[in-house]
Structure 1
């Protein structure tokens, strides 16, 4: 044994004999995956020194004893590392470069055997060796830009020299995970073989390199020298890419463009200088609020996934499901279930509704075929998993039912009590309700412990969130099975407790309340939309209301007003009609009938395109009570404060268990700007004391919707935060 650590071992010899090849194996003890924590990187440095001092070696194979190669750096360390400042980060990266360069400079050929995922720092490890062989099902990529940073351990230097600047930009700026066949075609790897043949393939390449058949030194010269592009080629490659990527990433996500600039600045430099440019750019991005929040988002997502996994382990298998109520929503649920392999019955009382549901499913599968995600044969196979029916004939074999009929408590109650008598005693019943109390819907059920909410967001195939709502009598088995089914559908389930609007709609409607008050006081709704979109929302509040539907918004608003009369009973100000109600009464429902705050026309792709409509302005004038001037900052505060405060109340009331789940629900459910980290991180970034001061100033004029809670005031006084780590600025 040349070296033995907690995560890395190096031994002489291979399974086929001979002791002139060193085998460096990543196998982090006590973990199911390999990741590059600070401790593992230190071990790698020690392991490389041990290899350097070993005599008689003719080659090195780097591999993994786990099902993955290396999933990347240990992201749980990032906030702590970022806190140490720019100088520390630059120095840290340069030390890693020294270790990686030492692998690249070993006096014999080297090869990496990639099984499973090789992402981020794991991918950068593979780039240090002369050759790479890849398992057929493995994936490789540099996803750092999705965290607001860029590859800092040589990815921006080595990859462009290996596969060309244009290809490297596509991988790095896009943050993609790339399959083995694509990596081979691109030249990022030298061979693709079945996993069981990886070591043999690696040894074969080493033998050919050692014999001189493969010129490994030429490979090194290419990776360590300047990029082979003349000035005109450089300008075309980089300037065009920067413009395209900036347009696609948008103004709030600078990392993809910064990565291109790093590749460009280092293009004419040798390895050491190019790596210094990369290290400095990494540190600069790492200290931004955007990187801090996107890393926080990743960590929050891990919290949500771990909680869901715990439920999943307790769940009975869900092998056959059913959806009650076809149409667009039922068809979307059926499509999602079938697309991920769970058979589903789709029942309605009307033939035309069943046909509409099937049409919706077929349309969504056809799009997958168009995008080459599915073949026609695979589409046909998946469609057979959806069984349309007008009767309850096969419901005795169903493990879980999703009720998705109209949002009316009497209708839902009738359907749920009917189906309960026709399914097995252990069958889980769920309701896809957006506002109606689960405890209330359970009142007439014989087995309320087997019932919970399963709130999908529209459109089902696009929106990642599913709220799993626990009523007063809901049992753990019902929650576990529903979480497991949501995960099987490819969704992110978050378990919340029952209250009017649950979590997401309860938080969203104070945001709409802030909008109504702004309009009432003379704000131009189109300007409000533009400011909130610039702030980072995918659409402003007026546009979002048009998408949600004015009828849905009015109904949900009534539920909120009944549930929280002090704050939400008069969200239109003094109890008079809000702009939303005026639109509804004038049958301007939004995209449902092509007129709301905007009018809608079809674009070239047949999708609704919003255009300004004078009639909407005329109607809005009816609710305007004063003409005030608002700055952009005023509008942002008046929109965000009530949303943030309601999120705080949901956490305090135990509707949601953790800040991580609250913030992820808003990001996944209503498109809260990811780079801002969610409502509670937004408060943390401002400082709870400053936020309370801002809210108090608004509450004096605008009332209880803007009033901080007593507990939030105490947190402000104590200097507390929702999250333990804090942003840089």
Structure 2
């Protein structure tokens, strides 16, 4: 970095601290034994030692300033160490922990020498709160540099005084939006908001820019007067009401209280930094020890568990994909792979269908890529290939044609001979057994299932299905491919419905039986949402497609003969895609009466509706469809949207059992 004059703290474990020839202190964060930096107890204690040395040096003129930078190549700080959250059992323990950290950050903010934060890679949660306590922030323009407050996804909000500091720097509308949504921001967007002061082109440029900022004593400027006005009454009151209205469209207060408590905090204290800081700690503590936060932290842990399904050390790296079938699912799989940097060839018997499938990816590319050059590059990577010429070059070949056993067998047997050694051969079947599809292949051990969910761009899970003859190395490559396209892999046994459809089907058909017995569809759907499901089972059936539901019912031996489902399918009323199913659909939305139902009744009915799903989830564990109960919970949450704040169906079941105290069952 720069020539080192001294190392005042040689025994640090997680930081390296040195003072260079210009008298600038360099605090390099490199958490011992970890791939990423996170703020745990020891790193914070060591940072406190560094700050004390800098303060002493600033006062005796031996230190001119401090730069806080990461020694990790691809990240600054991913946030607080949530593994340590489980140790905090009471509100008083949370408050004690928070006050120690906020005192340290206040100490940094009050240092008499300039403190510059140099950011490359992820700067999230507590990491961003530390950055905001510094006097000046420089970040790289690299696409991998992302800033944000994801705490709301864990059932909390920023607790290291990031609420007040972000509002002071960015203004209330932008700062509150960032905290309420938990979305990550590019470095350019963060600079536009005022959370970052300067951008540089590369990681290598950060130290020089930081040195110059210290020597020139650069300081951030708070939000301008116009933005400050929005934190004043009555604008603050109106803004808070609007934010509550927007949050209510996406989350119920009894399910996800954190965004509502954040709005309360802003509404009451938004014009007073110091009062907001003090109130932030008091409001944060009950959220941290709540069941919702414990369960949402469990969901985060489950997502890491799914990532672990892919081997960490595998020399094979996929870059080219060939997709056969340019219908909605095949084209969307191809588009997603392109959006994640792959080159994709798309094959179909109909050239017109290929053209249509490629055109449909324009919306995805518009969302994912900000510049025309990036969008054009993505379009160039999605190649029409009616003759299947890309098969020989592909690292992964995915068949995504009609759900017909004989046709799948024929297509796969024709393409296997054209594939290069070591390439993955996969079928996107949603219900057929891998063994049956592979029966006609020269090498049946090569075939795996890669079951994507619709819509591909929104659903994070992909089931990696292992047939009885499938080789383990092909399963590992399949899981590695799924992580390479930023999805969560779940390795499942080849059984009817695999995991997700298996547990979802009795839930949906249990609701349809109620419908057959005269219960109101809106009442059923509202009860499911009251439980925490993203949509009700009847609306879900319409969204999936009633023809698909009927087909899965047949595979899983759920009799629907003579039912309303069968009658609607026979009439061509297939749900959302045809404009009518159980509901009439207009503008992509089901038309409902908007009736209001009794809350207690909805809560009871909601619990009753999910009982078949929970029972089937337990059977999936007993029959080892996946490796363990935690993976069942993970698959059902990320594959169906099962109420995340409940921690998964089996976790929820355990929490309701008299034999298991709910508090213990909710622990990480």
* TM score, norm. by length of structure 2: 0.89
* Structure 2 counterpart of 1:198, from 186, 190, 206: 206
Aligned to 1:524: 520
Say if 1:46 and 1:284 are closer, same or farther in 2 by CA, change over 3 A: same
Q: Distance in 2 between matches of 1:173 and 1:427?
A: 43
* Structure 2 counterpart of 1:548, from 544, 547, 557: 544
Q: Distance in 2 between matches of 1:316 and 1:333?
A: 21
Q: Any conservation in 1 of the 2:526–2:602 contact (CA below 8 Å)?
A: no
Give how far 1:539 is off: 1.8
Q: Distance in 1 between matches of 2:578 and 2:368?
A: 33
Structure 1, unmatched stretches of 5+, are 562-567, 614-629, 690-715
Secondary structure at the counterpart of residue 298 of structure 1: helix
Say if 1:395 and 1:65 are closer, same or farther in 2 by CA, change over 3 A: closer
Give how far 1:193 is off: 1.7
* Structure 1 counterpart of 2:15, from 8, 16, 26: 8
Q: What is the correspondence of 1:163-182 to structure 2 with a 5 Å cutoff?
A: 163-182=170-189
Q: Distance in 1 between matches of 2:386 and 2:64?
A: 71
Give how far 1:413 is off: 1.7
Q: Any conservation in 2 of the 1:145–1:175 contact (CA below 8 Å)?
A: yes
Aligned to 1:127: 132
Say if 1:292 and 1:227 are closer, same or farther in 2 by CA, change over 3 A: farther
Say if 1:79 and 1:361 are closer, same or farther in 2 by CA, change over 3 A: farther
Q: Distance in 1 between matches of 2:186 and 2:539?
A: 38
Aligned to 1:706: none
Q: Any conservation in 1 of the 2:146–2:187 contact (CA below 8 Å)?
A: yes
Q: Distance in 2 between matches of 1:322 and 1:534?
A: 42
Q: Any conservation in 1 of the 2:531–2:603 contact (CA below 8 Å)?
A: no
Q: Distance in 2 between matches of 1:62 and 1:109?
A: 11
Aligned to 1:695: none
Q: Distance in 1 between matches of 2:139 and 2:377?
A: 31
Question: Is residue 23 of structure 1 aligned with residue 30 of structure 2?
Answer: no
Aligned to 1:503: 499
Cα-to-partner distance string for 1:227-280 (whole Å, 9 max, x where unaligned): 995433433443433333444444332322322322343334453x43221111
Q: Distance in 1 between matches of 2:642 and 2:324?
A: 31
Q: Distance in 1 between matches of 2:569 and 2:300?
A: 39
Secondary structure at the counterpart of residue 402 of structure 1: strand
Give the CA RMSD over aligned residues: 2.8
Aligned to 1:618: none
Secondary structure at the counterpart of residue 672 of structure 1: coil
* TM score, norm. by length of structure 1: 0.82
Q: Any conservation in 1 of the 2:546–2:569 contact (CA below 8 Å)?
A: yes
Give how far 1:674 is off: 2.1
Q: Any conservation in 2 of the 1:149–1:255 contact (CA below 8 Å)?
A: yes
Q: What is the correspondence of 1:362-401 to structure 2 with a 5 Å cutoff?
A: 362-366=359-363, 368-369=365-366, 371=367, 373-401=369-397
Aligned to 1:428: 424
Q: Highest CA radius of gyration, 1 or 2?
A: 1
Q: Distance in 2 between matches of 1:631 and 1:343?
A: 52
Give how far 1:554 is off: 1.6
Q: Any conservation in 2 of the 1:314–1:477 contact (CA below 8 Å)?
A: no
Q: What is the correspondence of 1:222-237 to structure 2 with a 5 Å cutoff?
A: 229-237=231-239
Give how far 1:105 is off: 1.9
Q: What is the correspondence of 1:164-563 to structure 2 with a 5 Å cutoff?
A: 164-194=171-201, 195-209=203-217, 229-251=231-253, 252-269=255-272, 271=274, 273-310=275-312, 313-314=313-314, 316-349=316-349, 351=350, 354-366=351-363, 368-369=365-366, 371=367, 373-561=369-557
Say if 1:657 and 1:52 are closer, same or farther in 2 by CA, change over 3 A: same
Q: Distance in 2 between matches of 1:387 and 1:229?
A: 51
Say if 1:24 and 1:347 are closer, same or farther in 2 by CA, change over 3 A: closer
Question: Is residue 101 of structure 1 aligned with residue 125 of structure 2?
Answer: no
Q: Distance in 2 between matches of 1:230 and 1:378?
A: 41
Q: Any conservation in 1 of the 2:331–2:361 contact (CA below 8 Å)?
A: no
Aligned to 1:713: none
* Structure 2 counterpart of 1:37, from 35, 40, 51: 40
Aligned to 1:145: 152
Aligned to 2:94: 89
Say if 1:345 and 1:168 are closer, same or farther in 2 by CA, change over 3 A: closer
Say if 1:140 and 1:424 are closer, same or farther in 2 by CA, change over 3 A: closer
Q: Distance in 2 between matches of 1:25 and 1:633?
A: 51
Q: Distance in 1 between matches of 2:240 and 2:632?
A: 40
- The count of residues paired between Structure 1 and Structure 2 equals 644
Question: Is residue 60 of structure 1 aligned with residue 66 of structure 2?
Answer: yes
Say if 1:510 and 1:246 are closer, same or farther in 2 by CA, change over 3 A: closer
